[in-house]
Copies of this chain bind each other. A is one copy, B any other.
């Protein structure tokens, strides 16, 4: 391993021959050296490499090198190999290769700031891993390994049995689709990415504030963004939304209709119907990101855009938050004629995704584990939500407001206008509580200065500690 690497050169068979012979090696090396393409001191490939790569016998390869030694082109050095000799006084010795130029890359958008490891991440969107079924997923993985073992190949659209399980599940919720209409993705992010890539005219209407990685993804493809401002403490200002959409006529409207990220807002049925009317009037395609409705307790689901508006609504959902973030599994559902474009866009990004986690999830769903898990999860979230609201009422100073999502993972807390948000973040950070800055969720000047409060991630006692600290610092600054 300490020897210098050998130089690689091409040996082509002379006219009429199928493979090179000794004289072709002699000719190639001599030509390369004469042309200065193989400087003095270059190490040539060992005989066994010639043998194998050129498909010649050991004797032929040796004969070629012997002739090159006899001609004074190369020399053999004991235990070191075969090297090019200097042929002419002006011949170059191996010079260092030129360094490659630095490619010019765009600056990274800053969308999230990782909290300090030991801080209480009050604004996280994740769910407490204690509430997640990692043991059952491990059990499913063991079972997948037993069946026919690991599959060699993958399906670009997603593992067919997983698409079947998802279609079956959606059917029970009133969304009748075939497995051919389901595309498995790496979380909901790849679903957004695929839709953005596939969209012909690049403009999109987005809630403002919105999930920053969705906006950044659309913008990275050059989408013009129509911000749809709203206040999670009021309803959606749909007349203003209609005006903005009539003005910009975006190709798409992307909406997070249950437990909107970051505000926790859920659309009312009337709001969904009005949005369908607006979309129809202006020919706007609808993309519904439904990360939230699985977190809503009760077996009855609120109507969603996909249920009300039919199969042209692109429907996105994800298992990553509700099972294990490390699975990175989501999906999208679309009308049959849209699938070829969407799968082609998935191929451009990743060709297809890893089979193993898709098979594990298919097993998990087919065993009925998901529904059992969801109902336990929903109950835990309901309890944590109720406890969070109780704590807020007891520890928050007057002037502090919070939304009432009615369950789910997070609510939005808005400090009184007198509070300096930067100073607040600093003060609570000093006491071990991390608040995620929300500016990246807004287009333009943020209309709110608050942040998410995650009851889904923190056990009630830990949350109470964090909210008590927050309340004290709000009081101090308010």
Binding site for B on A (CB under 8 A): 1, 3, 5-10, 12-13, 18-20, 32, 37-38, 42, 46, 48-49, 52-55, 97-109, 111, 126, 129, 132, 134-135, 137-138, 141-142, 145, 149-154, 172, 174, 186-187, 189-190, 193, 195, 197-201, 213, 216-217, 220, 233-235, 251-252, 266-270, 272-273, 276-277, 279-280, 283-287, 297-303, 305, 307-310, 312-314, 324-329, 335, 338, 340-345, 347-357, 360, 382, 386, 389, 392-393, 404, 406-407
Contact = CB atoms under 8 A, between A and B. Distances in A.
A459 to B, nearest CB: 15
Nearest to A283: B101
Contact of A5 (B3, B297, B302, B325): B302
B279 A101 contact: yes
A153 B129 CA distance: 9
A187 B100 contact: no
Contacts of A313: 100
A149 B187 CA distance: 21
Given A349-B349, A351-B189, A199 B111 contact: no
A268 B302 CA distance: 64
A8 to B, nearest CB: 4
A137 B149 CA distance: 10
Nearest to A301: B5
A354 B341 contact: no
B105 A342 contact: yes
A355 to B, nearest CB: 4
A235 B32 CA distance: 12
Contact of A328 (B103, B105, B353): B353
B299 A1 contact: yes
A10 B235 contact: yes
20 contacts: A6-B302, A19-B393, A38-B269, A49-B300, A53-B407, A55-B404, A100-B309, A101-B283, A101-B284, A101-B285, A104-B199, A105-B342, A106-B198, A108-B345, A141-B150, A151-B324, A189-B351, A193-B348, A327-B354, A354-B354
B303 A5 contact: yes
Given A52-B297, A106-B198, A108-B344, 12 more contacts: A8-B267, A97-B308, A98-B309, A100-B310, A103-B286, A104-B285, A106-B199, A108-B343, A154-B328, A190-B350, A217-B349, A326-B356
A406 B98 contact: no
A342 B106 CA distance: 9
Contact of A348 (B12, B102, B216): B216
Given A106-B199, A107-B341, A138-B145, A268 B348 contact: no
Given A9-B270, A302-B6, A303-B5, A102 B327 contact: no
Given A100-B279, A251-B104, A404 B150 contact: no
B187 A351 contact: yes
B280 A98 contact: yes
Given A150-B138, A313-B100, A270 B348 contact: no
